[in-house]
Structures are given as structure tokens and as C-alpha cells.
A and B are shown apart, each in its own frame.
Chain A
Amino acid sequence: MQYDVLHEGSNAVLLVSLKRGEKMRAEAGAMVAKSPKLHIRGKMWGGFFGAMQRSVLGGETFFFQEVSAEDGNGDILLAPSLIGDVKVISLADGQDYYVQSGCLLAALDHVEMGTKAQKLTAGLFSGAGFFVLHLKGSGHFVISAFGAIMEVPIPAGQEYIVDNGHVVAWSGDTQYHMVKAGKTWWSSMTSGEGLACKFQGPGKVWIQTRNPRAFGAWMGQFVRGRGGVLSLIG
């Protein structure tokens, strides 16, 4: 199996070349184009309850698509819904990673996926949701994000603070908890940053350079409401 990220940046597309007999998994609805020899099936990856947790509580799709090269070699192009970058992360035996729901574009080779619940505070305020995807095994997985993706290594004994809404993925050896972004609650609120995620090394965190929720809120001011008294004003 070979892969390549084309048009890196805001319009990134993942190209995967599968040889006869190979399989991969991708986010439902991510296909842009494919060779006729590749077959696509919807699969409940991680079991029924895992799929339910992901879709109902995690905002992820219930089904993942399994792309298989049953009839011969072929290529598939995959792209996320959001405008943003795509990054391939390699996964070796013994390692594990967590990915925010909705940010996993594809899993190649022998990647296993499960769903893990986050702590209440992290679920409510991290922007990653209550349920996150837990990946282990060996191979590669592909994350997508809003804006560019930055990989930040955090050495052992060091900490790193990421504003909530910007976290995409992190290695299983890191741990994070919610903190106020400023020195005091007042400065956190007035600075517009509010809460942030404080990661502890060793490990890595992948962050997106744009916050989809903040962008949605910004767009909201230009979208006319569906009615009601307030829609009459302005």
C-alpha cells in the first residue's frame, strides 16, 4: 500500500494506491474518486457500541468505509469535508494515539480503532468531545483538520498549552487537563481564550491552526436566522 498527500495545505487530498488483496478504512463520505477495481463497503468499525458512542456522543460517522482491492490494483482519492490540511502519522507496535472525533480521515495497514471516553471536564471543554478515537496497532493513520496541522513534540518533564478547539490528536503517553488560559479567571475570560488544554510530556500533540467552532460562530453573524422577532432587526 502506498500513499501520498497531494495539494498539501488547505485543499489537501490523500491518494492511496492499493495492491490486489489490500484493504484500508476511511471516513464515510470522504471519497473523491477511485479506480473501478476498488470496492467500498460501510463497516461499523470498533463494534456496534463503539460505533454508537462515536456517532451519537462523539459526532463521528456511524459507519466507516472499507476500501478493498479485491479485483486488482487501484487508487483512491480521499478528502475531508473541511478546508484544511491532511497529515499521515505512522504508528508502530506498542504506541497508541488519540484522535478527536471527526478528524480521522483514513487508517492504513493494521491500525485498530476503539472509542475512549474522556473525563467530564475534558469532554465538556476541550473541544474534542466526550468520546475520542483510540488508535493502536501498526501502520499509518491520516488526520484531517481545519487549517494547517502542526506537530508539536513535548519532551519529558515539559508542558505545553493548547487552546481548546485546536487539539486534533495526541499520543497516548501524554496526558492533559483543562486549565484557565490566563493567569486568573478574569484575564482568561477577558482575553477571549477561556479554557485551554495543558499537555504533559513526553509525547506529541497535533494541533489545527484554525478553530472550527470559532469560525462557525464568526460565520453565524452573516447567516440570517430562520425567523422570529430578532430576524426583523438587521
Chain B
Amino acid sequence: MDTYQARFYDSSGNAPDLVQVQVGSGKIVVCGTTFSIRFEDLQLQVGGHDGDRFKLVCECQNVAIVSEDRAFLHALAEAAGGTELGKQARHADHKIVKRGSHKFRYWTIVTGAVVAMAITGYMLLDPLAASVATMIDPSFEVKLGEMLARTDKLDKKSDGFKRVSRIGNQLTAQLEKNPYKFQFFVKKDKEINACAYPGGILIVNSGLLEKVFDDDELAGVMSHEVGHVIHRHTLKQALHNCGLITCLTLISGGVGGAGDAEKLEAAFALAQKLESLNFSRAQETDADITGLELEVKAGYQGDGLVKFFKRLEKEESALGKGAAPLFAVLSTHPMSADRRARIEAELKRLREENEKR
């Protein structure tokens, strides 16, 4: 006769004993004891926290047997036949099997709904940030940019500063009427990079000035940054980040406890890394196109940005991975093959347009 593992609860209220049971004719026998319970004294129900086990309760003897072994249930259904206990055993088996598939379906729906909400929220972040940006007055951006620039030690006297100001003014003179007052500065920093604060403050690092071959290359970088200012990319990115922080706060349950702010900061940094940092691809394209238009209108060749990046990429690969921090502009504005092709196509179109005129 087959034996099945089960837990035996007596009336003492103590923890159950792990027992082996057998299904005999008309009764259940607890192996190793003389204890047995007749089928007609048993009530069978599905039980357990997960609804994955069944319990046989004998009220007259105040005992219960609990098991998750479905072979035990099948043996009981067969032995009890068409009796009430047999019916209960078949019903319980059906319920346990069904519960497994219900649970899977339930959690698939819950997970799917959460993922769908997260994706929809993320997709709406940029359009929402763009629409909120239209409600913010450019004077606020100017103030914000001036505040940020105050933290930097800026060079306003050197030859580099004069060169940057000359090229910057040539480029911005091509712009249509806009609310920004452009100012150009040089920052003493070996890192090859340039940045634009909201409101029109452009900062070129001395490291970048040393690396550019000619004014065309410098104009390529600077016109791209002017493009970011005109399209209000810094403001939109800040609003995007605010939205992201709000979403993370909602998911993590807020910043109430000690150390929660640090956890949130870490989660935000991770989310930013996953988003591949800085401006989106669409924003980079917008800045490239605006920058190219300004360059061509101001009389520059227009291919300075691509040339400069090509040269930097070669230099960086020759110097090895250790030089990567210096070549920050390559990681913050990656020049993919797609981007290069888009710039070259746009430049070709602008040159053809100019020739027609």
C-alpha cells in the first residue's frame, strides 16, 4: 500500500507531527500508530496560505491531516468513490489545479498593467516636459543660467576668450529674434568639452580650445551648443528629470525615512545611466541642424564638427581607455554613424540651397 507524507494536528494545539499515512478500505491510517479515521468522519477542504494543499478534518476526534501531495488526494478520491468524501476529493483536486493557472493569469495581468503604466508614463515624460517648458518664461532661464555660471571661474580676458566671443557673436548674429542674450566664456579646464547653460551662456573649456584645429571646428562645436539653447533643451531636460524623480518617488514610496533621499538619488543616477545620459537623440539632431544653419549662414565650412570628432576619436583610441575622462565631449555627444550621416546630408542640402541662391 502506498504511503503519503502529511502533517498531523491533534487537539493539543502544538506544532504538527510529520507523519506517513495510508489510504485503506474506508479509512485513513497513520503509519507507525494504531490511529485511523473512517472516511465518513472526515471533511475535506482546500487550505493553506496559497490554497495549494488540502486538509482532512475529523471533528469527532478533534484532529486534522494536512498534505500537499496530490497523489494522496487521487488515492483518496479513488478509494472513497462516489461518497461525499470522494466528491470532495475530486472537487479539491480540480480547485488546486485551477488555482495554479488562475494565479499565473492574475500575476501576468498585474505585472502587465504595471509595466504598461510605467512605459506610458515614460513615453509621456518628454511631451509633458516640452509642454510645461512653453509655460516657463525665458527670463527664468536667463536667471537660472546666470546663477549656474556664478559657480564657475570664468576667463573673460584671454585671447581664447576673445576668439570664442568673436565666433559666438558671428554665429548668434544669424539667429532670428530670440529672447536670449548670448554670452561666451572660457573655463580653465583640461577636459575637452563645451556646454550651454539655459538663457544663452556658453562655456568653452580651455582643453577644447587647445584641441580645435581651426575656427571652423570651434564654430561647429559652439553652433551646436547655441542650438541647444534655442531649443531650450537644458530646461526640457531638467523638467524631464523632475518627472523621472516624481515617478521614482511614487514607486519607492517617497522619501520619509532616514537614508531614503540617498537611495532615491542612487536610483535616479541609475535611471539616468540607463537613459544614456544628457540630451536625447532627437534633441542632439535638432541642435545639429540649427548649428549647421548658423555655421553656413555665418560663412563657415559647416563640416567642422564632424572633422573635429573624427580627429578626437582617432586620438582617444590611440591613447587608450585611460584618456576617456579627458575626451568628455565624445561621451556626452557620441558621434554615431547615423548622426554623422545626418549631419553630412543636412550640410549637402544647405550647400545646394546656397548655390541655388
Contacts and interface: CB of A to CB of B under 8 A. Distances in A.
Interface string A6-21: 0000000000000000
B97 to A, nearest CB: 17
B158 to A, nearest CB: 46
B13 interface: yes
B50 interface: yes
B15 A156 contact: no
B110 A95 contact: no
A24 to B, nearest CB: 21
Q: Which of A117, A155, A156 has the largest count of B CB atoms less than 10 A from its CB?
A: A156
Contact of B50 (A56, A92, A116, A201): A116
A118 to B, nearest CB: 8
Contact of B66 (A120, A173, A204): A173
A175 B13 contact: no
Given A172-B49, A174-B49, A175-B47, A155 B18 contact: no
Given A155-B13, A173-B55, A95 B64 contact: no
Interface stretch (B3-11, B195-203, B296-304, B309-317): B3-11
Given A92-B18, A94-B5, A94-B7, A202 B55 contact: yes
B62 interface: yes
Given A92-B15, A94-B18, A95-B16, A157 B64 contact: yes
Interface string B47-85: 111110101011100111010000000000000000000
B9 A202 contact: yes
A157 B9 CA distance: 11
B14 interface: yes
Nearest to B45: A200
A194 interface: no
B35 interface: no
Interface residues of B, number: 29
Nearest to A92: B18
Contacts of A173: 7, 9, 16, 47-48, 53, 55, 66
A175 B95 CA distance: 15
A155 B11 contact: yes
B264 to A, nearest CB: 13
Given A93-B18, A156-B57, A202 B66 contact: yes
A50 interface: no
A157 B66 contact: no
Interface string B1-40: 0000101010101111010000000000000000000000
A171 B62 CA distance: 19
Contacts of B58: 156
Contacts of A92: 15, 18
Contacts of A155: 9, 11, 13, 62, 64
B247 to A, nearest CB: 14
Interface in A72-106: 90, 92-95, 98
A25 to B, nearest CB: 22
Given A117-B107, A155-B13, A95 B63 contact: no
Nearest to B63: A156
Contacts of A117: 107
Interface string A153-177: 1011100000000000011111110
B258 to A, nearest CB: 11
B66 A175 contact: no
Contacts of B5: 94
B111 to A, nearest CB: 10
Interface in A123-163: 153, 155-157
Contact of A175 (B16, B18, B49, B59): B49
A153 B13 contact: yes
Contact of B64 (A90, A116, A156, A175): A156
A201 B53 CA distance: 13
6 closest Cβ contacts across the A-B interface?
A156-B64, A153-B13, A202-B9, A94-B18, A202-B64, A156-B57
Given A174-B49, A200-B47, 11 more contacts: A92-B18, A95-B7, A117-B107, A153-B14, A156-B57, A156-B63, A172-B48, A173-B66, A174-B47, A202-B9, A204-B13
19 contacts: A56-B251, A56-B252, A92-B15, A92-B18, A95-B16, A116-B50, A120-B110, A156-B57, A156-B64, A157-B59, A173-B9, A173-B47, A175-B47, A175-B48, A201-B9, A202-B9, A202-B55, A202-B64, A204-B15
